[in-house]
Amino acid sequence: MLLVTPPGGNSVILSGDEHGTVHRWDAATGDPVGGKLCELDSMAMLLTSLVLEDGRLLVACGTAYGEIRCFDVATGEPVGRSINTGNGTPAIAAISTPEGPLLLASSDDGIVQQWDVNTGEIIDDSLEGVSVATAMLSDGSYALATGQQNGDINILRTGGPRRVSA
C-alpha cells in the first residue's frame, strides 16, 4: 500500500491485490478513483513513487518475482518500458536524475540494480543489498539506502557513501 499526493491534486491510496491489480482510492473518502492502475502477472506487492521533471507523479508497481511496470498516477497510462529483474525482488525505490527517472530494485541474491525507466535497460548492478529505499533531501538531492541481511546499511548521497552498522 502507498499513499501519494500528486502535485496540485488530492491524496490517493494505491493498493495491490493477489491477482496483480493495483487500485486507486481517494484518501479522504475511500472511494475508487479512475479504475485499475495496472495489472501484473502475479501479486502486486511492491509500490514506490516519484515526481517527474514535468510534474507528473509516477508510480512503479512490482511483484516479488521481478516484474516491474511504471504508470502515471493521474492518467493510468504506462510510462517507459516494463522491467523484469530476472530474480526475486524484495524492494523497489525510485530517484530522479538529470538523465531521467531511475528505478532501483533489490534482489534475493544481494544485488541492487539500477534501471532506466524510459528504456527498461539496466544501467548499473554494482550496489549490494537485499533492500533499498530512497528519500529526497531538502537540497533536492537524494539519499539512497541499501540494507544487508546482517542489519547493516549503506547510505549513498552527494558527498559519498557512509556505512552504518546495526
Q: Which residue ranges make up each domain of the chain? A: 2-133
Q: How far is CA 121 from CA 40, 50, 80, 115, in A?
A: 19, 18, 10, 6
Residue 165 has pLDDT above 70, yes or no: no
Instruction: Tell me the pTM.
Output: 0.81
What does the block give as the cell for 23? 487500485
Q: What is the pLDDT of residue 152?
A: 92
Q: What is the pLDDT of residue 162?
A: 45
- pLDDT tens for 117-129 read 888 899 888 889 8
The domain covering 2-133 belongs, at the CATH homologous superfamily level, to YVTN repeat-like/Quinoprotein amine dehydrogenase (2.130.10.10)
> Which string of DSSP letters, residue by residue, matches 88-127?
----EEEEEETTEEEEEEE-TTSEEEEEETTT--EEEEEE
Residue 164 has pLDDT above 50, yes or no: no
CA-CA distance, 13 to 116, in Å (whole number)? Answer: 25
Q: What is the pLDDT of residue 141?
A: 80
- pLDDT tens for 146-155 read 999 899 999 9
